[in-house]
Amino acid sequence: MKDTQIKKLIEAERKRQKRVINLIASENYVSKDVLEALGSELTNKYAEGYPGARYYGGNEVMDKVERLAQERALELFKLSPDEWAVNVQPLSGSPANLAVYLALCPPSRNPDSSFQPARVMGMTLAHGGHLTHGHKVSATGKFWTQVPYGVDEKTEVLDYEKIKEIATREKPAIIVAGYTAYPRIIDFKKFREIADFCGAYLMVDMSHFAGLVAGGVYPSPFEYADVVTTTTHKTLRGPRAAMIFSRRDPPNMIGRAGARELPKKIDKAVFPGLQGGPHLNQIAAVAVALAEAARPEFKKYTKQVVKNAAALAGELARLGWRIVSGGTDTHLLLVDVWMNGKGIGGKEASERLEKAGIIVNKNTIPFDTRSPVDPSGIRLGTPAETTRGKQEKDFTEIAKKINEVLRK
């Protein structure tokens, strides 16, 4: 590279990544093949539109790239193209979620031309939901009204009876399941029943656990959801991007206006609704990652990710730390480091750990009494370090080191 300033910075970041223990639950290390696709000449091309229907010439290769990514995505999650469609163009997870709301329940205008926002029912950010599940600082909370739900105060897990009660009362247009800081398995069947009961679409945002679904260590949401969104850069170990899967004919939505048009509506919401030209270099890199995730080694990897998280949670609990909800079924865990004043704040915890070479993020815990800028918890995840080959015994050692640093 001739640009020495950027070259130096890339080198510095590469070294930083090598040096630290990375416990950020949403990060991972991609393969050389993924990097190669990202850095390829595919970045030079404009391809507005969809395969076979582009607004620019010269897209015969790009059509093949995008179709291959779509085929691999459906194959990986064992979906028939007769039943499911997939859009691989979203630039990242947030625009993907926004596109779904735009497609399924666009804000309408009142006769006086004021906006009439539809209702999106999503987990509150404070309990582990994502900003794009309708939080007020996100566009999704400005153009839609969030109907929030959370976890039970005692058990810190989803309370499906309460969720049903809220959904029945508030009648949201769409219910979102899938979170950014929730360590437990979601009962998708129960969510389907609730959605049917109140006539809502069920969208699952599997951004965090998509890799675990692909590896068979987390239940698949596809049996129950109308729409599934996912980022591709977390447990799935691909480049930063996202995908939207939608049912061609949602069985529970028959008779509902427009239900049969989901994939078409979603395509329109992505382009031209929200985006211009797709990033085909990124889509090619997604295709590479999808093929990697279909290999037996990836199954082994995801099993190890979950075992490592259990080992980390188990050892931290043994050392006296409170693990939110009592443990984890997944790749992530929330540690209550404040423990009602017996420990330290999440901000201090993450700063101390960073100085010791362990990268985590501070995180609110359900019913947190502290502020989001200095909450009671930290979130830990195992996908990145498992990619580097770490096993349960290594995570037991990491837990000991975390304990040492936090108790100093």
Nearer to ligand PLP, 145 or 207 (CB): 207
Record the tokens describing residue 293, joined without a space. 């995730």
Interface residues toward ligand PLP, by CB under 6 A: 26, 92-94, 97, 130, 132, 178-180, 205, 207-208, 231
Least distance (Å) from ligand PLP to the CB of residue 279? Answer: 13
Nearer to ligand PLP, 240 or 248 (CB): 240
130 annotated as belonging to a binding site for a ligand: yes
Identified catalytic residue from 234, 265, 362, 390? 234
Angstrom distance (rounded) from CA 242 to CA 159: 29
DSSP-assigned letter for residue 118: P
With the CA atoms of 155, 159, 162 and 168 taken in that order, what torsion angle do they form, in degrees rounded to the nearest 10?
170
125 annotated as belonging to a binding site for a ligand: yes
Is 237 catalytic? The answer is no
| Beta strands 242-247; 322-323: pairing state | unpaired
Query: Cα 88 to chain center, whole Å?
Result: 15
Cross-strand pairs, 300? none
Nearer to ligand PLP, 26 or 28 (CB): 26
129 annotated as belonging to a binding site for a ligand: yes
Identified catalytic residue from 27, 33, 48, 152? 48
Is 205 catalytic? The answer is yes
Calculate ∠ Cα 265-271-276, nearest 5°: 170
319 annotated as belonging to a binding site for a ligand: no
Give the residue at shortest CB distance from ligand PLP: 93
Core vs surface per residue 152-178: b (16+ CB within 10 A) or e:
beeebbbbbeebbebbeeeebbbbbbb
DSSP-assigned letter for residue 11: H
Spatial CB neighbours of 238, under 8 Å, sequence gap ≥ 6: 30, 34, 232, 285, 286, 288, 289, 290, 293
Nearer to ligand PLP, 180 or 304 (CB): 180
Least distance (Å) from ligand PLP to the CB of residue 208? Answer: 5
Identified catalytic residue from 29, 46, 50, 160? 46
Is 46 catalytic? The answer is yes
Is 240 catalytic? The answer is yes
Residues annotated catalytic, as ranges? 46, 48, 205, 231, 234, 240
**Binding-site sequence positions for (6S)-5,6,7,8-tetrahydrofolate:** 125, 129-131
Question: Binding site: residue ranges?
Answer: 125, 129-131
